[in-house]
Amino acid sequence: MFSYRHAFHAGNHADVLKHVVLVQTLVRACQKETPVFYIDTHAGAGVYALDGKAAMKNAEFASGIGKLWHEAHLPEPLVQYLSYVRALNTDGKLAIYPGSPFIADAILRSQDRLRLFELHPTEIGMLDRNMTELARDRRERGLPPVRGKRTIVEKKDGFAALKAQLPPPSRRAVVLIDPPYEDKADYRKVIEALQDAIRRFPTGTYLVWYPVLQRPESRRFASQLKQAVSREWLHVTLRVASPVPDGTGFVASGLFIVNPPWKLAESLKEALPLLVRLLQKDAGAGFTLEAGVAAPSR
């Protein structure tokens, strides 16, 4: 418990996929004037130093965001995603990587709300400090603040905290459910939290990230998610290499999106082939993209 630290994995292939989808989702959500309620159940530290000791240990970012950094000709969804990373690296050197809270803050407007939850004792302290520094920077630039009414950071179990946030006052929400899955029980907790959230607020957009691993819980997770919801869904996976025969190694991840925004699938169809080409480590790389509408229960 609490052994997972995202700083060791920041900017890897899974982050690239997750944040490409998150950017496209939030950008589309902001096309309507009604405020958006963004909820991050496992927010992490918010932002990561890629030249720090943790990120440099395995340098996973080098085979993730690092493969896109100097590419000049990219489809618009990847250009948009990279723009939020480049905004933190104005000298052109890739040294800082934004987590989902920083990406959401950059996209969301003054009328929108962010609710960030984290239970890890080290991560929550870093998240609080990072969001405070971001607020200070925004004040100095004359921009709307990011703390207080607009953004709230809390040390809470994100699964439990989600219940109290739904339905949101604006009746529009984007929820990112992104636990570390270091505990096998997380798979069950995700399904239970998702089903409860949909009961409380059926029209929200829910993004569930998960690692594609050889362990049984992971292999059956996508099927369980499809069976658990009675709403429109989109399912995407990105694999950068062939699975290791002994089942070790992390080469693929997935996102399950409930109530996906309009034309999200089209944007991913444009971005995924190039992501495979740029991030692939061997011929086993590839992606899947499928959509469906669960049949209503009788």
Could you state, in order of their start, the residue ranges of all structural domains in the chain?
A: 6-209
The pTM is what? 0.94
- 106-165 pLDDT, tens digit per residue, is 999 989 999 999 999 999 999 999 999 888 877 777 766 555 678 999 999 999 999 999
Question: What's the pLDDT score for residue 243?
Answer: 87
Average pLDDT over residues 14-36: 97
Question: What's the pLDDT score for residue 143?
Answer: 66
Average pLDDT over residues 275-297: 88
- Omega before residue 167 within 30° of 0, cis: yes
Is 210's pLDDT higher than 70?
yes
In the chain, % of residues over pLDDT 70: 94
Average pLDDT over residues 8-19: 95
Question: What's the pLDDT score for residue 298?
Answer: 41
Average pLDDT over residues 70-81: 95
Average pLDDT over residues 217-241: 94
Is 34's pLDDT higher than 70?
yes
Is 271's pLDDT higher than 80?
yes
**Given 15, 40, 112, 178, the catalytic residue:** 178
Is 248's pLDDT higher than 90?
no
Output the six-digit token pair for 148.
């207080």
178 labelled catalytic:
yes
Is 193's pLDDT higher than 50?
yes
CATH number of 6-209: 3.40.50.150
For residue 167, the cross-strand partners are none
Question: What's the pLDDT score for residue 186?
Answer: 95
Is 28's pLDDT higher than 70?
yes
Average pLDDT over residues 67-92: 95
Average pLDDT over residues 34-60: 93
Mean pLDDT over all residues of the chain?
Answer: 92
Average pLDDT over residues 270-278: 97
